[in-house]
Chain A
Amino acid sequence: MITFEHVSKKFADGTEALKDINLHIEQGELLTLIGPSGCGKTTTMKMINRLIEPSGGQISIDGKPISDQDPVELRRSIGYVIQQIGLLPHMTIAENIALIPKLKKWDKSKIDKRVDEMLNLVGLEPSVFRSRYPLELSGGQQQRVGVIRALAAEPPIILMDEPFSALDPISREQLQDELVKLQKEIQKTIVFVTHDMDEAMKIADRIAIMKDGEILQLDTPDRLLRHPKNEFVRNFIGDERMAKGQAPTAVDLMIQKVATVKESRGLAEAFRLMKSERVDSLAVTGPEQEYKGVVTLDQVQKHYEGDTKRIVDVIEIIEPIQRNTLYPEIAKRFAEKQPISIPVVEGEKLTGLVTRSSMMRGLAGLEQLGYKEEEPLNE
């Protein structure tokens, strides 16, 4: 469908963005281009609709070189979704979706029908959303419109440039799921640029891993995981995998909002704080947020009579874990020593707290709650 033959790109300032790219994208496949920033993934994508022209080599669609085609006509046959969404704020949602069909001079009744069809496709009720303006919609809704605007004129190819990376995590997940579902129905050829390995793994038929203007490996997600071609690919998949998913670490399992108290404070204050935050232990920190220990409700109540006692006198030391401590290690600590919670540090600094329930949430892949939802905490 789309073929790159020895495509290279040198920018005016001499930087070599792409070196000899050869790539064949099949009809109906969702290919993601992924790599660290500056690897040339966006440049590669933007060459397909001639927003960037190659310095050498040739790109063809269905065997026809695109350099022979009128860029404007070419772009109208290729859907385009960008990270910043780029809906036109002065036009209604319906007008935004109808933009390309209108430029292509479809007749009005066909456009109207198409707009409704598209809105239904992403679960936006036409009677509600047709006449709304983009700024009245949430980010997730706006990008849904961005996607269907690209689909409206029935282009066989769609380019997506990190379309979901500016959205909040929940909307991002939803839109990824919807895209996968949508792709089953529409079977378009989609070129999807991302820097998020989880996203690529989730949606792609094939993934092209790029670095320094070259494609290092182009394979299915499964084969990439099983047979990474070299150290960089392994690390790139590995590092990203570590963050979420396969082997959870302390970071995934902890709550970040921790009720803390400075070690120099009195017991009455600790008691008051526990009451107001509805917790039965507080993390104790020094002046620079460095972790010192934990103070529990039991200890505070036991020593409460001694007026002069301060937190530093009743502190309990629970050995902290690092942010990258793996799940089995954490589970073992809970099993052996039965602590209420285990503090997580980065260097000296307290960065979070793993509790039994936060561990369960983390393992279930849920978002971590604060220890108390309503307020941003402490200090």
Chain B
Amino acid sequence: MNEENFFVLFIETMQNRWDDIFVALQEHLFLSFISIVIAILISVPLGIFISRRKKLAEPFIAVAAIFQTVPSLALFGFLIPFLGIGNITAIIALTVYALLPILRNTYTGITSVDQSSIEAGRGMGMTSMQILMKIEVPLSLPVIMAGVRTATVLTIGVATLATFVGAGGLGDIIYRGLTSNKDELVLAGALPATILALGFDLILKLLENAATPKGVKAKK
């Protein structure tokens, strides 16, 4: 294959199929975003909970880790008999996938907060809730954000498989390219997915920095 030809072909594909690609990109974003939000809503409180009851921490993290080890394609397939095809199935699968990094980082973040700060807070008369909101969460936020970042990049990648449960996304474009043996079409789906993942990685990296308390960064 002539390289220049392929490049021209790719540009043409992008131009001709832009509407399709744009729709797929929106679906992709939608699926990833919803899944991550749900995963955060589950994992962060759960992570805080298991940091209070350390005996439960291992089993919970182990379960999340087992989910993670199931090959992503198999997980999608596994859910179809129960939930049929469609967005819901895709979102559940993606959420399950995103749980572990956030859960583990929340747990690690909260448990690694300096105990002397907590003891001082408790001894001075802060309630458990005040200790959580004013000490533990602010100090572990950078670690939690790092978990969210990992999960986001992962989810954007795995979301390309949502096409197999009929939930659309950039996977549609890639799959079409594969079945019709058009490499330029595969690339037209894969490239936006990659850019999306890298873009989110960057944005979340900035957020992570912003979440690091000033006084902690000031460490000489």
Contact = CB atoms under 8 A, between A and B. Distances in A.
20 contacts: A51-B122, A71-B125, A79-B124, A80-B123, A82-B116, A82-B123, A84-B115, A84-B120, A88-B120, A88-B139, A89-B215, A90-B139, A133-B214, A133-B218, A134-B215, A135-B215, A136-B218, A136-B220, A146-B120, A159-B123
A48 to B, nearest CB: 10
Given A89-B114, A89-B216, A92-B215, A99 B124 contact: yes
A191 interface: no
Contacts of B119: 82, 84, 86
A84 to B, nearest CB: 3
Contacts of B124: 75-76, 79-80, 99-100, 149-150
A86 B220 contact: no
Contact of B125 (A75, A90, A149): A75
Given A90-B138, A90-B216, A92-B215, A74 B116 contact: no
Interface residues of A, number: 33
Given A82-B120, A88-B135, 13 more contacts: A74-B125, A76-B124, A76-B125, A79-B124, A84-B115, A84-B119, A86-B114, A86-B118, A89-B139, A89-B213, A90-B213, A133-B215, A133-B218
Interface of B, helix, strand, loop or mixed by DSSP? helix
Interface of A is mostly: mixed
B55 interface: no
Given A86-B119, A88-B117, A135 B220 contact: yes
A138 to B, nearest CB: 10
Contacts of B114: 84, 86, 89
Interface string B99-133: 00000000000000011111111111111001000
B116 A85 contact: yes
A91 interface: yes
- Interface size class on chain B is 20 to 34
Contact of A86 (B116, B134, B216): B116
A49 interface: yes
A164 B23 CA distance: 65
A148 interface: no
A72 interface: yes
Contacts of B117: 86-89
Interface string A80-117: 10101111111110000001100100000000000000
A73 interface: yes
A91 B215 contact: yes
B219 interface: yes
Contacts of A85: 116, 120
B121 A88 contact: yes
A82 B188 CA distance: 61
A150 B118 CA distance: 15
A89 B121 CA distance: 12
Contacts of A71: 125
Contacts of B116: 82, 84-86
B220 to A, nearest CB: 7
A90 B214 contact: yes
Contacts of A49: 123
